Amino acid sequence: MLNQEILQLLTEASARGWLMEPQAKEVFRLSGLDVTRFLWTEDSQEAIRFAVKIGYPVVAKVVSPEVIHKSDVSGVVLGISGDKQLGEVFKEMGRIKGFQGVIVEETVRGTELIAGMKMDRQFGPIIMLGIGGTSVEIYKDVAIRMAPLREQDIESMLMSLKGRPLVEGYRGAEPINVEALKKMLLAFSSLVMEFEGRVGSIDLNPVICNASRCVITDARIMLTGYL
C-alpha cells in the first residue's frame, strides 16, 4: 500500500514536519480512500473556472505552511455561491501569513466525523473516531482503539459515541453509510500500520458521511518527531 508516490510526499514534507492539506489528501487518494474533488491554485480565475465546472456552492481553504489549523485564521469559507464571492474570498485569503494558494473544492453535506491516528509510545499506532468539526477538542466525543482495527472495533467505536444518533439519522436525516465508513477506516488502519517510524499523528477532520458516501474533506499528517 505504501507506494513510491506516497513515500515521496512524506519525504518532501520532512523539513516542514507536516503535510499541508493538498499533499495529505493526495496520500489518502493514492491509498484508495474517498477524498473531495479539489483544485489547488494561486490563480483566482482558474479557481472560478473550476468552481463553475464542479458547480456552486464550493468551499475555499487557505494553503499555508505557517497555518496548521486553518479555521483559527479565517482560512476556511463554506457555501461560496458564485464567481464574485469566490474572487473576494481569494483576495482575503491572499493576506494570510505564508499564503501558497487556495483549495477550491466540492461541497459535501452530511455528518462531520473525525478519524485520526497517533503513534503512541506505549501502545503503538492507535486510531480515533469521533464527532468531528472544529469543536472536537471541546466535546471530545471520540473512541480510541489500537490499530489494526477489526470490524468489531469499528462497531463498538460507533456504539460508544454520545453523538451516535447523528450517525444513525437524527431528526429526519438519513443514516450514514456505515459500510462506506467501515471500508474507509479499515483502509486507513492498514495504511497507518505501515507508517510506523514515519508519521506521528494524522487528523482526517472532517470526514463527511451521508447516506451515499464517506469522504475526507480535510486532512493533516504530522511526521514523527514533530509535535
Among 142, 158, 185, 215, binds another protein (CB under 8 A): 142
The least distance separating another protein from the CB of residue 132, rounded to whole angstroms, comes to 9
Selected binder of another protein within 123, 151, 162, 164 (CB under 8 A):
123
**Would you say 26 and 216 are in contact if contact means Cβ atoms under 8 Å apart?**
no
Q: Is 186 in the site for another protein (CB under 8 A)?
A: no
Question: Taking CB under 8 A as the rule, does residue 61 contact another protein?
Answer: no
Contact residue for another protein among 20, 80, 96, 128 (CB under 8 A): 128
Candidates 31-39, 48-56, 129-137, 171-179; binding stretch for another protein (CB under 8 A): 129-137
Binding mask 81-120 for another protein (x = CB under 8 A): ---------------------------------x-xxx-x
153 binds another protein (CB under 8 A): yes
Task: Check residue 70 for interaction with another protein (CB under 8 A).
Answer: no
Note the residues at the interface with another protein (CB under 8 A). Answer: 68-69, 72, 114, 116-118, 120-124, 126, 128, 130, 136-137, 140, 142-146, 153, 156, 200-203, 205, 220, 222, 226-227
